[in-house]
């Protein structure tokens, strides 16, 4: 514990020093950074986006790629026309880009889906046995596993004890899969993925990581981590148009019934039967989301080109600034799952005594042009455990965040708590 606290303190101090130099500007350019929104008191201000965890704005490179491809947009596969050939090359080439971005093994499969939820439901139909999950999960990584028998482990107050409980459950009787979040969508806290992969494999199970909240903030290499399957969404990774991906081992995907049945998923069809294609085509029936996949690949390329260490320091500095500011406001409670969590991504969730979550979120939006998320974040069991069954407020950061917006959020919350109601909101 001492080592963890020391390392955390050192990282925080480094982040604070970095903040003094670099967080006065966004780390990367995102579309909509200059969006003007109306205020209830009249006038407008520049939108302060603290809702990255729900859907991140498109990176400038992604917007440019979509605009470049739009004139060539056509149905993919089997088309002899030039536009169809360009679209097909873009779609199929995206598999290699996504595979490279997540460090996939040479024999892994990249299946394009609508989003993380879609990916997890697809895999749930392929798992040949029971799945072990934690009770802290987003509903997308909790509900689909009920199809093949979900064994839910109650997380402990520490990461260390939570891992011990997972080990005990996996050792108690065979399971096919351990499904865990990479980073909590409620608190941003990160689990020790490599350790959990080692535990799962030692007990004869595979591991799936819900990377929806992890990949926008941290580089992930599934081969080195020992992860068997990874699911994530483009709309959280700075790529619009609703595409996601499931990456992982081929055998389960080839053995399972197709996720959807229809054109593109078959080798041959006769009146007597069907010869299904192998994955990934086996699970991609119908006309695919060409622009969404192109946007996803462009986002992966853009993110891979950023300085990962500097990006992480930028985020840590902003988080430290936000947490320090919130702690200075009477009646604000920060939510955490574990007392020994060594790492977290740019998500800060809190409650304000005397104010309902929607009241806080509406005030920030109407009076100050600040966008946060309120509610139970599709993680009802976790919010109940954290003592907030009616929900909380989530402020999430991203590559377009900067110090002035953090200060604006803290000042607006302090104003709310102090009971001051000016005639107009902050100009920006």
Nearest to 47, CA basis, from 371, 424, 408: 371
Per the CB < 8 A criterion, the answer to whether 394 and 357 are in contact is no
Which helix (H) or strand (E) segment holds residue 122: the answer is helix 116-124
Return the exposure string of 74-89: e unless at least 16 CB atoms fall within 10 Å of the residue's CB, then b. Answer: eebeeeeeeebebbbe
Structure tokens at 410: 């803290």
3-state secondary structure of 276: strand
Q: What is the residue whose two structure tokens read 């992860």? A: 227
Per the CB < 8 A criterion, the answer to whether 335 and 388 are in contact is yes
Per the CB < 8 A criterion, the answer to whether 135 and 165 are in contact is no
- DSSP-derived pairing of the beta strands 131-134 and 150-153: parallel
Per the CB < 8 A criterion, the answer to whether 166 and 196 are in contact is yes
3-state secondary structure of 317: helix
Per the CB < 8 A criterion, the answer to whether 247 and 223 are in contact is no
Residue 171 appears among annotated catalytic residues = no
Structure tokens at 82: 């030039």
End-to-end CA distance of the chain: 43
Query: What is the Cα–Cα distance from 307 to 295, expressed in whole angstroms?
Result: 20
Candidate list 22, 126, 203, 378, residue with the active-site label: 378
What DSSP line would sit under 63-116, residue for residue?
Answer: HHHHHHHGGG----SS--SHHHHHHHHHHHHHHHHHHHHTT--TT-EEEEESSH
- Catalytic residue set: 378
């Amino acid at each position: 514990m001492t080592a963890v606290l020391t390392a955390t303190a050192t990282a925080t101090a480094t982040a604070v020093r970095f903040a003094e130099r670099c967080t006065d500007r966004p780390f990367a350019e995102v579309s909509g950074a200059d969006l003007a929104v109306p205020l209830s008191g009249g006038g407008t201000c520049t939108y302060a986006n603290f809702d990255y965890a729900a859907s991140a704005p498109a990176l400038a490179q992604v917007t440019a790629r979509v605009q470049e491809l739009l004139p060539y947009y056509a149905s993919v596969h089997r088309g002899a026309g030039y536009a169809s050939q360009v679209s097909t090359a873009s779609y199929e080439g995206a598999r290699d880009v996504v595979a490279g971005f997540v460090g996939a093994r040479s024999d892994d499969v990249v299946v394009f889906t609508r989003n993380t939820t879609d990916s997890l439901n697809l895999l749930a139909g392929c798992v040949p046995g029971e799945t072990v999950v934690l009770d802290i999960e987003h509903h997308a990584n909790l509900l689909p596993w009920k199809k093949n028998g979900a064994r839910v482990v109650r997380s402990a107050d520490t990461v260390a004890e939570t891992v011990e409980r997972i080990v005990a459950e996996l050792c108690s009787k065979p399971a096919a899969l351990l499904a865990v979040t990479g980073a909590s969508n409620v608190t941003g806290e990160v689990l020790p993925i490599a350790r959990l992969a080692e535990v799962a494999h030692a007990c004869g199970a595979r591991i799936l990581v819900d990377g929806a909240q992890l990949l926008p903030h941290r580089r992930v290499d599934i081969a080195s981590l020992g992860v068997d399957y990874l699911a994530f969404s483009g709309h959280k990774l700075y790529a619009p148009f609703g595409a996601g991906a499931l990456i992982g081992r081929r055998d389960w995907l080839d053995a399972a019934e197709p996720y959807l049945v229809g054109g593109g998923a078959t080798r041959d069809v006769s009146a007597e039967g069907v010869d299904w294609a192998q994955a990934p085509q086996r699970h991609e029936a119908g006309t695919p989301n060409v622009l969404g996949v192109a946007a996803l690949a462009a986002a992966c390329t853009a993110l891979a080109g950023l300085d990962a260490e500097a990006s992480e320091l930028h985020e840590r500095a902003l988080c430290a600034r936000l947490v320090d500011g919130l702690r200075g406001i009477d009646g604000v409670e920060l939510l955490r799952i574990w007392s020994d969590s060594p790492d977290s991504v740019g998500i800060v969730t809190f409650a304000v005594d005397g104010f309902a979550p929607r009241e806080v979120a509406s005030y920030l939006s109407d009076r100050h042009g600040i966008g946060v998320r309120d509610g139970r974040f599709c993680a009802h069991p976790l919010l109940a455990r954290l003592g907030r069954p009616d929900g909380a407020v989530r402020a999430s950061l991203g590559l377009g965040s900067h110090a002035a917006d953090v200060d604006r959020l803290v000042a607006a919350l302090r104003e709310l708590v102090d009971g001051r109601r000016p005639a107009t909101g902050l100009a920006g």
